[in-house]
């Protein structure tokens, strides 16, 4: 693949195309923020989005996680999610010397299929971050060539 073709393929993968009206989703409720995750996808290159909510906190050596849950709903077949939390965290109960550190503490993960016609919309309480990973293949059926030896 030439450099120009590679740049064009990467630009195409990053540029979302939407047919659905993004304003069809409800406005964020007071105390929440709306996040739109746009990922280019097609039948030949499906994508899944794995997303989670959390924030940076001061913790000790224990494993910590944010209490909360996602609720799913949809508008005209396009799903959206709302994360709710009481702000409390849970953790393991190991003895820790006084070693505190800053770390991102997240709640449960949710996975959804990316759509070509609408973004993935997630409502998150103010003060929290939404992070996500995109899983999928850009191209299928490629033939590998052996290296020179």
What would the CATH number be for the domain defined by 27-134?
Answer: 2.60.40.550
How far, in Å, CA of 62 to CA of 129, rounded? 21
In the chain, where are the structural domains located? 27-134
* pLDDT-based confidence at residue 45 (cuts at 50, 70, 90): confident
109 contacts: CB under 8 Å, gap ≥ 6: 50, 51, 52
Q: Tens digits of per-residue pLDDT, 88-102?
A: 999 999 988 878 899
Q: Which of 25-39, 55-69, 87-101, 130-144 has the lowest mean pLDDT?
A: 130-144
């Amino acid at each position: 693949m030439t450099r120009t073709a590679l740049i064009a393929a990467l630009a195409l993968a990053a540029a979302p195309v939407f047919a659905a009206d993004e304003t069809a989703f409800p406005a964020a409720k007071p105390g929440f923020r709306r996040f739109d995750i746009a990922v280019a996808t097609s039948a030949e290159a499906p994508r899944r989005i794995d997303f989670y909510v959390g924030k940076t906190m001061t913790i000790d050596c224990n494993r910590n996680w944010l209490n909360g849950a996602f609720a799913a709903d949809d508008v005209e077949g396009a799903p959206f999610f709302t994360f709710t939390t009481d702000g409390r965290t849970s953790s393991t109960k190991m003895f820790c010397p006084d070693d505190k550190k800053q770390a991102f503490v997240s709640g449960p993960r949710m996975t959804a299929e990316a759509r070509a016609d609408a973004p993935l919309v997630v409502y998150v309480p103010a003060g929290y971050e939404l992070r996500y990973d995109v899983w999928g293949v850009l191209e299928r059926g490629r033939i590998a060539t052996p290296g020179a030896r």
